[in-house]
Structures are given as C-alpha cells and as structure tokens.
Amino acid sequence: MKTNELTGAALDWAVAKCEGLHREDTVWEIWASTHQYSTDWALGGPIIEQECISVIRNIGGSWRGSIRRTTSHPLVSHPVLDGWTNQHGQTPLIAAMRCYVASKFGDTIEVPEGLC
C-alpha cells in the first residue's frame, strides 16, 4: 500500500510496526482500538517529539509532516542534512504518522489484507 494513502487501522498498524509493536495475527483489530496513533495525541504526540517531525498547515487546509533525513560524512563528526521525508494528511497526526512510516519504510508498505 502507498504510504501516502494509509489511514485508520492500516496507518496505526504501520506506526506500530515502526515502533516494533505490530501484530500479524487477527488479534490486531482488538489491540488496535487502544493504539490509535493517527487520532490520539497521547500516542502520536510523543512520536512527533521523539522523531523531530515538523507539522505545518498547507494553504489548502491539509497538513504536511516533515522529517529531516541525515547521513554521515567523512569530514564532519556530526550527521549532515541528506534531504527531507514529507507526507500530507487531513489532520496533523495523519500527516505526521504517514511521514514517520515513510521515513522508516519508504513510499510503500505491505499491510495485512484485513486492514486495507
């Protein structure tokens, strides 16, 4: 599934996978009801802070989440800018969580069939 199309349980599952907490079995639907990263600021907020995701409102009313990508350089002792990972969404949390997933897995992620 394309990262920029993830919503609801599929997005929450992908975030949980980024966090190392994903479930592959059918219990996910029950477990997911308490792990709603894309709608619960108490869960998504700490990820935004931890990953230094910036979230801004676009002119059209949607939101953009951005994470700075860094790389090492042989002449510098600290990480240097290597670009940005950007994702959009209808809410700040959706944009930020899509951005988080894209930063870890890229433009697509394989999501269990029941969540698509």
What is the spatial distance between Cα 74 and Cα 16, in angstroms, rounded to a whole number? Answer: 34
- 108 is written with which tokens? 């697509």
How many Å apart are CA 37 and CA 47, to the nearest integer?
A: 9
What are the structural domain ranges in the chain?
A: 3-111
For the chain (116 residues), the mean pLDDT of every run of 10, in chain order, is 94 90 62 83 96 95 92 81 90 98 94 79
Amino acid at site 67: I
Q: Which CATH number fits domain 3-111: 3.10.450, 3.30.2120, 3.40.120, 2.50.20?
A: 3.30.2120
> Tokens 């800018």, residue?
81
- Residues near 95 by beta carbon (within 8 Å), at least 6 away in sequence: 55, 62, 63, 64, 65, 87, 88, 89
* Whole-structure pTM value: 0.86
Q: For residue 21, what pLDDT is reported?
A: 77
